[in-house]
Amino acid sequence: MSAPPALRVRHLRKQFPGVVANEDVSLTLRAGTVHAVVGENGAGKSTLMKLLYGMHRPDSGEIHLDGEPVRFTSPRDAIAAGLGMVHQHFMLADNLSVLENVVLGAEPGRAGVLDLPAATRRVEEVCADLGVTVDPHAETGALSVADRQRVEIVKSLYRGARILILDEPTAVLVPQEVERLFASLDRLRTRGLSILFISHKLDEVLAVADDVTVIRRGVTVADSLPANEVSSRELAHLMIGAELVRTERPARPAGRLALRLEEVSLRLADGRQALDSVSLDVREGEVVGIAGVEGNGQTELIECAAGVRRPDRGRLTLFGQDVTGTNLRWRRAAGVAVVPEDRHRQALLLEAPLWENRMLGRQSAPPNSRRGWLTRRAARRDTERLMRDYDVRVRDAGVAAASLSGGNQQKFVIGRELAGGPKVLLAAHPTRGVDIAAQQQIWRRIEDAVAAGAGVLLVSADLDELLTRSDRLLVMLRGGLVARVDPRRTSAEQLGMAMSGAREVAG
């Protein structure tokens, strides 16, 4: 008899107030394989992972581990049973060392004390299993995104995980890092571990996964298909129940100078030179893309352009007017819209209802305010219109932002920022965590704004997005703009090379 599957999920159901997040979800994760879960935003993928990891309890349905039924009441139970999970937002303490993060919360030795030299050796062994090197004594906050992700994986393996759940692990990685992650997953698979991961990138899913499960609106529509028997087109079709339309980018003439940065520099409190004499122009009706490995100044660039941070040196102008000393509020009033990198901390009040979130930063503008009074009904109606326009799938405008799926939160923020007809849009990762159909929809709206004259400064970790959407593309490294590439003549691999500082740059 063949071995039972590592994990078998049958007819899981989970309802939240007003929403059935998982209606009927099933999948079979075979031992020693990589299994991808795909589906539109809000399809119920994260809910499934949280059910498996003991963060939520299913209303009905069954979970079997190695053929045995299990019922977890907390992640602690799931970890004890051999599950590990790497969340989209890493759960590491930045001010602790890699080693401290890894052993934090893990069982100490028999004597109740932690044997540090033994723990260090074990961490090094796990890294060797993964085929990566991470210094156990490095400060976690100083590591790159890819390294922090490795630490999360090491942490799970250190605790003895045999099944690893990864929630959109590649969303934050550049192509070279994606390849390294896949190589690590491959090593784990050969050693008999089983991996379940969520992704929105179908080509990538087909490249690495053995099996694929498709969830549409809370229901499994394809249960554990062999990946070599489907195409990305078929998967997209299964996900949305319709064909995707490819959009061609129109050539467009750029207009007046909208935003200009002149030799802008910024040193952070920890002494790091975040921006080093950055000069760039964004004209009306064009998209200027910024490529770079995360942590090379893109975040601070957007923050300075938005007026959230003030540069130490240099000048910013908006349609010729010096705005260097103005803040976010002032710039918003002057027509600047901002889609920030961290939607949880900078774009949404998670506990507040959507209609309040709709008004953030614009409390005094119509239709939210009449003669200075907030009109709640108008704000709600306006929010519901925005939800329809941007296909934000949620019951009504009274629902708290926290209970929206990640992709729906992003669609909401984009809709809110574009609603005012901005002159300049500062967009950091506008489609991060958003499914392919919604990505196209978001870009259609941004392109409409561009056609209406908006100038867009785009920061993204998605190289295909940068290459297909930018009119001009600049590469950022260690706080400076180091290369200019032609988005029409550059491949994602060449761009990845330029981002890592390699000399020869195409275009």
Ligand X SMILES: Nc1ncnc2c1ncn2[C@@H]1O[C@H](COP(=O)(O)OP(=O)(O)OP(=O)(O)O)[C@@H](O)[C@H]1O
Residues near ligand X (CB under 6 A) are 16, 19, 21, 39, 41-47, 393-394, 403-408, 433, 435
Measured from the CB of residue 438, what is the shortest distance to ligand X in angstroms?
8
**Cα–chain center distance at 101:** 22
Nearest approach, Cβ of residue 460 and ligand X (Å): 17
- Cβ proximity to ligand X: between 39 and 479 the closer is 39
Beta carbon nearer to ligand X, 50 or 162 = 50
Identity of the residue numbered 450: V
* Nearest to ligand X of 417, 435 (CB atom): 435
**Please, which residue, 22 or 296, has the CB nearer to ligand X?**
22
Q: State which amino acid sits at residue 395.
A: R
Instruction: For 368-448, list the strands marked E by DSSP.
Output: 369-370, 373-374, 424-428
Token duo for residue 89: 């937002």
The residue with tokens 């938005």 is: 306
Report the relative pairing of strands 194-198 and 163-166 from DSSP bridges.
parallel
What residue type is 367 in one-letter code?
A: P
CB of 341 to ligand X, least distance (A): 17
Q: Which is nearer to ligand X, 19 or 301 (CB)?
A: 19
Q: How far is the CB of 412 from ligand X (least distance, A)?
A: 11
Least separation in angstroms between residue 111's CB and ligand X is 41
Which helix (H) or strand (E) segment is 379 a member of?
A: helix 376-389
Residue type, 398: G
CA trace torsion 173, 177, 181, 187 (10° rounding): 180
The DSSP symbol for 241 reads: S
Alpha-carbon span 506 to 375, nearest angstrom: 54
Strands 219-226 and 211-216 turn out to be antiparallel
Nearer to ligand X, 20 or 225 (CB): 20
Q: Closest approach of Cβ 169 to ligand X, in Å?
A: 13
- Report, in Å, the least distance between residue 344 CB and ligand X: 13
Asked if 194 and 29 count as a contact pair (C-beta separation under 8 A), the reply is yes
Q: What is the rounded distance in angstroms from the CA atom of residue 414 to the CA atom of residue 417?
A: 5
Looking at beta carbons only, is 394 or 466 nearer to ligand X?
394
Omega of the bond prior to 367 within 30 degrees of 0, cis? yes
CA distances from 118 to 107, 115, 157, 465, 505 (A): 13, 5, 15, 45, 46
Residue 214 or 425 having the CB closest to ligand X: 214
Q: Give least dist CB 23 to ligand X, A.
A: 10
Report the alpha-carbon distance of residue 326 to residue 266 in Å, rounded.
16
Q: Which residue lies nearer to ligand X by CB, 356 or 435?
A: 435
Query: What phi and psi values does residue 427 have, to the nearest 5 degrees?
Result: -120, 110
196 contacts: CB under 8 Å, gap ≥ 6 = 7, 29, 35, 36, 37, 49, 52, 163, 164, 165, 166
Nearer to ligand X, 47 or 213 (CB): 47
Measured from each CB, the residue nearest to ligand X is 407
Q: Is residue 435 a contact partner of residue 200, using CB atoms and an 8 Å limit?
A: yes
Spatial distance between the Cα atoms of 304 and 496, rounded to a whole number of angstroms:
25
Supply the minimum distance, in Å, between the C-beta of residue 396 and ligand X: 12
Shortest approach of ligand X to residue 432 CB, angstroms?
A: 10
Name the residue nearer to ligand X (CB basis): 184 or 409. Answer: 409
Query: Among 76, 191, 173, 199, which residue's Cα sits nearest to residue 126?
Result: 191
Whether the Cβ atoms of residue 16 and residue 404 lie closer than 8 Å to each other: no
Residue closer to ligand X by CB (options 218, 422) is 218
Least distance CB 37 / ligand X (angstroms): 9
Contact 46, 198 (CB under 8 A): yes
Q: What is the dihedral of CA 56, 58, 62, 68, to 10 degrees?
A: 30
